[in-house]
Structure 1
Amino acid sequence: MAGLWTGIALLTLCALGIVLLPLLRARRLQQLEVAEDRDRQNIDIYRERLSELEQEKAQGNLAQAEFDELKLELERSLLQDVGDSEARLQVSKISGLQVLTVSVMALLLVISALGLYAKLGSAPRLELALERQAQPDPFEGRSPTLEEALARLEHELEVTPENVEGWYLLATTYMGAGRYDEGIAAFRQVLDRLPEDAPQYTGVMGQYAQALYFANDGKMNTEVRAQVNATLERNPSEMTALGLLGIDAFEQQRYAESIDFWSQALGQADPTAAESLKAGIRRAQQELRALGEPVPDIPGIEAAEIRLAVRLAEGLGSSLSPDQAVFVFARPVGGRMPLAAVRLKVSDLPLEVVLDDTQAMTPQARLSGVEEVEVGARISLTGTPEPKPGDLFAILSPVSVRGQTQALDLVIDQVVE
């Protein structure tokens, strides 16, 4: 940063020179012009007086000696006047008004330069860029703590407050850490800077309403409801706002209304949020059934789960150790990677097993992401998930992941060749 300010100082001096030198030069030229005019007038007077003397001499009014003496005096006077002009020019100084003018112009130049830099430039941004260049990894290869990451992001947003993505990341991080008031303030920054016609705008409005809701101990109040209504006026199918209305209706035992709100939100939900909404709808349906009230039929909200009654075929258990591993799984038809799997022991059989998204191998590969699967069970003689010759297994395919009311009978009776 020292180099920046040194450069600014040098450029300011150059600018002052460009502005002030012409002013001083103009003063000098003005003095020269005045001196030249005065000399020209003195010469004209000299010539006029010399002409009068010559006329007097021609008329016989002056003798030659008198003429020569008067002419010599005229020449001396002319030389003295011209010399005085040059001396005055040499010793002339800058006037007080000129000093004031130059000082005011220099001050205005510096102030205007600093004002333009404050408007168009950014020393803090340059400093941040230099920091990043000098230290690309401020955490020296280790994973930062939440507080360290937040402090770093807060510092960058102080320097670049127009960074909408940064404010959004800060807001969601605050919310995840339970710092709801700070999350609210960060969401406001996002809404202030994000164009209202941006496709993400109503989504942020819904998240802002959710932040207000959490900050109010998970209760609906006038402020939260106003924000929810403002969000739905812009986008009637905004998922977060509809989800909040569904939660509020459920807590007030208006179960049919909560189902309606959550059903509307399903159309905009990602897979993870969709499963949460479906779980809420199923719970509201259970409450309605318990009250003996009509239950709305919502297609596609059945839980993605498969019930299996796993058992050994007769005559196989005697040759197996009770501690040998039993893998029960569901995978895409014709696929290899399980969508859900559990590990049992031979001693656990027979057993009824439920496969669902809680046993997913990865967040991206889930049972709820497909309509049909093949299910299987395998007793591993080596204890490894990979099938080996001699392992015992059973397979059922295809099996629907929804709408199942009874456990499927899965009998382990085959041998891996």
Structure 2
Amino acid sequence: MTALWLGIALLSLLAVAFVLVPVYRGRQLEDAVQPDVDRRELNISIYQERLAELDAERAAGSLDQENYDFLKLELERNLLQDVDDTVASSSKPVRITRQSIITAFLLAALIPAMGLAIYSQYGRSGDLAVAMNRPADPFNGRKPTVEEAITALQERLKEEPENPEGWYLLANTFMSMQNFSAAADGYGKALKYLPEDAPQYAGVNGQYAQALFFANSGKMNQQIRSEVDKTLSLDPFDVTALGLLGIESYESEDYRAAMEFWRKALTNASTEQADSLKSGIISARDKLIAAGETVPDLPELAEVKIQLAVSLSPELKSRVTPDMTVFIFARPVGGRMPLAAKRVTVADLPLNIVLDDSMAMSPQAKLSGAETVEVTARVSASGQPTPQPGDLSGTISPVAVHDQVDILELSIDHIVE
């Protein structure tokens, strides 16, 4: 903190200098003008004395009129020359009044005072002190236990309660330990300090509802339903909220509703979430079949994969080195965003590979969500996904996603122009 206040003091002095230095320089200029004024008055006085002497000599008869006129003209010329020199060497007079000096000193005093007042209102010196005084490594290089890490995080949150990221991390930790009440409290604190228009808000709110659900022994109540509804109003495809509704329906033996909730949740589900949801859908489907009910087609359960045998054309082998990057991906025909992608090197070729939903770039863009794709393998000299002239490439298009059973031969056989 000493460094902080020293910096504030130095900046305040600099601000004061910006106000007082011009006043000081103005006084210097004012003093510099005064000698020029005195010199001009002296020249006029000498001229008058010399002219009086010429008049006296002419009156005494020792100086005729012609010489008198010549000397007087010369004397006037010298006076004019002296006056011109004095004016040329003098700047415009600077007047520094007593009022202007007082104003300058008042401003010099107000600047640091106003700065300190504003900082006391909007500054965060307390947070800075906490951050500077916190030990760099409270565990002295030793890996802390989970309990020690939780305690350290809780102590930090006492000092910085308005920290949604910290509360979220604490809640996730308690959730993994199945301490659902503590997890719900952590998610609630995170939501308290997280703006509602934040893109993460719906997801955190869904996790809050889930923690409440498990803390209530897997039973829905009015509070939990309210949080689920709030989450789905923000994100109709939130995986956690839809998953909870599916569990509730399944426990109520409404298997068809459970299946629909879980199918909808698959839209944004990660690979791990999708596996769990599909297991639930299969269980609900089997329950319906066992009850003799008809079951709709479930394309989500179909195993979607594209099997490839990737090779490099012999004619192009001289243009590559073993460490060059090879991108293998499937994307919609004419599209840009890959639905499944894998990165290997030239040394791995030839290669048999399977593209599926586990290689999705995002939960919203999966291979199973497309009907047809184009499959590409590209050797990138730069190591970057964006194609560059001189890269080597091979493409198969179109490829039917859901009906694909054969192994496709994909040859890297042409140069990108």
**Under TM normalisation by the shorter chain, which class is it?**
0.3 to 0.5
Is the radius of gyration larger for structure 1 or structure 2? 1
Normalization by structure 1: what TM-score?
0.46
Normalization by structure 2: what TM-score?
0.46
